[in-house]
Structure 1
Amino acid sequence: MNLSSNPQPRQNKAVLVTGAAKRLGREIALEFARQGWDVAVHYGQSASDAQTTVAEIRGLERKAVAFKADLASEAEIHSLFAAVVAEFQDLECLVNSASIFEYDRANSDTPASSKSLQDHMQVNLTAPILLSQLMFEYQKNSSESPGEDSSSIPSVIQLLDQKLINLNPDYFSYTLSKAALLTSVEMLAVDFAPHLRVIGLAPGITLTSGDQTESGFTKAHQMTPLGKSSTPGDIAKAAVFLASSNAITGTTLYVDGGQHLLPSSRDVMFKTN
């Protein structure tokens, strides 16, 4: 299951970041390493990118191991978590960053289909929920005095989206899957306490997506009250902050330059072409 291993002995607390081989997941993994965390790097298909991420984390003198798993497979999700905790006994944070983001609408030339809905729900909702449950069971079984050690309360961070507070019809299946995950944050936080905190983290437009041009992205990134939306670094720093803040659970932090405050009938990327 693991792509490579680090010969150094286990040190410090660890985080599992899904989709950590590239894009936002990669930046989150690197920021945790910069702040002294060891990192379990999950990837789906990008083995070379995962190895690059692992090498960069080791360059920061932190432990890193890459783990391959198809998040559309329940069996592989269970195998992933078992392999991670076997390698990182001090696992204190799970960041569910991996997701599918494909365009559809309920009433358009690219209509939402049963397959599209199922694919988005499996990777964007079912996989994070299953991993969160496994994280809870692990923390519950390994905690001798749950809730009493205020120095460290483990956490799950669910990557969401600012558009959940500012709905429009674009990316129908993606939005539904993330909306369900948002709803789960409060429910899981109540159910998993005092062993585990659960928090949502909602970026704004942060990286180019699909066939979006660089100029289109630049324009979209500026369409916020602050004149700029989130950067990968903003989201990564927020994730580390949430993982280290013991009093935060059952809520969602919007890191988007205020993008969610501006109602829009279309996804912002369609307003900048």
Structure 2
Amino acid sequence: MHQFYFRGLLAGQKALVTGASSGLGRAIALALAEAGADVVVNFIGSSDPADEVVSAIQKIGTRAISISADVSQEAEVRALFKGAIKELGTIDILVNNAGIQRNAPIDTMTIEQWNSVIGTNLTGQFLCAREAIREFKRRGIVSSVSISAGKIICISSVHEVIPWAGHVNYAASKGGVMLLMKSIAQEVAALKIRVNSICPGAIRTPMNQLAWESREAYESLMALIPYKRIGEAEEIGRLAAFLASDCADYITGSSICIDGGMILYSGFESGG
């Protein structure tokens, strides 16, 4: 792992990361802790992976708790934030990371496959952002902690702009996240609340293991990535820590791609 450059930048801040028990969420939670934040590790399903993340954060030296909640369910999101604020006192940083895939061709995709992906990936981000903004507005700016009133980081995807056949529910959810993020950012900027998105490309996580585990799959993937490597989850974590810090105070309403150039349409690299 590369040197962590943001150590101490988030000291005294409280972060909530949804879907933080594995993959990108885990890496983001650990990076925020490395930067000094206390972290709420949201999860769904078995508590064992979340407990491991909590333990890892505690070894770093900051506070961590885990709270189970399905982000697609309004009542559970309200309970998640109520529990987080009760334990930590407030929330300064929300990372809307929870996301799922339910892939199928359009003509065989079920309404359950559609609704489950939209519910988690898009509605979940709305519900969590709404609760976070309510807390940010209630508390206001605490200048000894941060020069902003709060930060929201939406985990989107390169597929907010790149169509993805066979994944219309996922691509639609991420396209929705883009304008959800920008519209919220526009609405709350005057309150000194910052809202941005991180758009990962191919990152080495369990969710997309099939895209790179065989030699043939790896070569096909590399054809799409001008920088010719797979990204690591820790790279997403470092970007999240930067965006959550006052170093990024003038950044709001932006989608930041971290994709090795995937959105550059590598098929046109020789002029088309």
- Give the TM-score, by structure 1 length: 0.85
Give the equivalent residue in structure 2 for 1:268: none
Give the equivalent residue in structure 2 for 1:68: 68
- Is residue 2:178 matched to residue 1:175? no
- Is residue 2:230 matched to residue 1:234? no
1:65-87 CA distance string (max 9 Å, x none): 00011223211111001111111
1:87-143 CA distance string (max 9 Å, x none): 122421100111111212324xxx222111111111111111111011111111111
Give the equivalent residue in structure 2 for 1:37: 37
What's the secondary structure of 2:120's corresponding residue?
Answer: helix
Which region of structure 1 is more displaced relative to structure 2, 46-55 or 86-95? 86-95
Query: Identity of aligned pairs, percent?
Result: 27
Distance 1:150 1:31 in 2: 18
Which one-letter code corresponds to 2:49 in the other structure?
A: D
Give the equivalent residue in structure 1 for 2:3: none
What's the secondary structure of 2:207's corresponding residue?
Answer: coil
Greater helix share, 1 or 2? Answer: 2
Give the equivalent residue in structure 2 for 1:105: 105
Report the alpha carbon displacement of residue 153 of structure 1 after superposing the two structures with TM: 4.1
Give the equivalent residue in structure 2 for 1:91: 91
Give the equivalent residue in structure 2 for 1:127: 124
Give the equivalent residue in structure 2 for 1:260: 263
1:10-29 CA distance string (max 9 Å, x none): x7101100111111100110
Q: Do the aligned partners of 1:21 and 1:46 also contact (CA within 8 Å) in 2? A: no
Distance 2:141 2:51 in 1: 36
Q: Do the aligned partners of 1:139 and 1:195 also contact (CA within 8 Å) in 2? A: no
- Give the 5 Å matches for 1:237-252: 237-244=238-245, 245-252=248-255
Unaligned segments of structure 1, at least 5 residues: 1-10, 265-273
What's the secondary structure of 2:62's corresponding residue?
Answer: coil
What's the secondary structure of 2:114's corresponding residue?
Answer: helix
Q: Do the aligned partners of 2:20 and 2:50 also contact (CA within 8 Å) in 1? A: yes
Report the alpha carbon displacement of residue 182 of structure 1 after superposing the two structures with TM: 1.0
Unaligned segments of structure 2, at least 5 residues: 1-10, 268-272
> Aligned pair in 2 of structure 1 residues 215, 94: CA closer, same or farther (>3 Å)?
same
- Give the TM-score, by structure 2 length: 0.85
1:22-56 CA distance string (max 9 Å, x none): 11100110111111111100000130000000000
Give the equivalent residue in structure 2 for 1:157: 153
1:196-249 CA distance string (max 9 Å, x none): 211010001102536716125643553311112421111111111111111111
Which one-letter code corresponds to 2:261 in the other structure?
A: G
Distance 1:124 1:45 in 2: 17
Which one-letter code corresponds to 1:187 in the other structure?
A: S
What's the secondary structure of 2:214's corresponding residue?
Answer: helix
Distance 1:210 1:166 in 2: 17
Q: Do the aligned partners of 2:199 and 2:257 also contact (CA within 8 Å) in 1? A: yes
Distance 1:227 1:153 in 2: 39
Distance 1:24 1:150 in 2: 25
Q: Do the aligned partners of 2:72 and 2:127 also contact (CA within 8 Å) in 1? A: no
Give the equivalent residue in structure 1 for 2:213: 214
